[in-house]
Amino acid sequence: MIFLRFIMVFLTILSFQPKGFGSAIEPYVSYHLQHHPEAALNYLKTLEKMDHPEGVFLLGCLYLQGGVVTPDIPKANFYFYKAGHLGYAPAFKALADSYLAGDGVKKDPMMALYYYERSAIRGYGPGQFNAGALLKEGQNVTSNQTQAFYWLNQAAHNPDLGDLRKDAANLRNEIKVNDPIKLQKGVRR
């Protein structure tokens, strides 16, 4: 399950680049393709010292998966937290996934929602989708249909989501809210 989550997290970063930084993905993948995992680890540690958001995130992914390093999910979550605070939205989504599943942290759906929304606020489609779905279903969080509509609507219009936009629109269209003016204004907490 952790390996599958690593693959999902890694694939989500391919379409999202933080502004002001070059991509760390290309050299990282190159190192792995050349079977130099230690070089990749050293490269990511160098990026981490420079507070490169994507590099910090990828270092977290290495600790999530293991292989080059001993798997250490709490350390992975630390790097996700740091990368998120450096402005890398996929990192907050990955941290939210950890809180939702209880991976390396105490299971806490409210913290998961908090980090999904931090990711969503930065325009990250998977964060928008997950925040909306969590609020719509109210699974261990207080259901908020207006907020769910807002985030699912954002996801439905996010061009980076591809086919997931249709799923977001379908979930959004299932929501019945009594105050259409709130929906039009996109009320957020």
CA angle 165, 170, 175 (to 5 degrees): 125
pLDDT at 181: 59
pLDDT at 22: 53
Domain locations along the chain:
1-9+23-107, 112-189
The phi, psi pair for 122, rounded to 5°, reads -85, 5
pLDDT at 153: 97
- CATH architecture of the domain with range 1-9+23-107: Alpha Horseshoe (1.25)
Residues of the chain with pLDDT under 70: 1-26, 28-30, 33, 178-189
**What are 110's two structure tokens?**
């409210």
pLDDT at 59: 92
Q: How far is residue 5 CA from its own chain's centroid?
A: 11
pLDDT at 100: 96
Classify residue 17 as exposed, middle or buried by CB count within 10 Å of its CB (0-12, 13-18, 19+).
middle
pLDDT at 21: 47
Residue 141: Cβ within 10 Å count: 18
CA–CA gap between residue 83 and residue 71 (Å, rounded) = 18
pLDDT at 81: 98
Map tokens 């907050």 to a residue: 92
CA–CA gap between residue 163 and residue 67 (Å, rounded) = 32
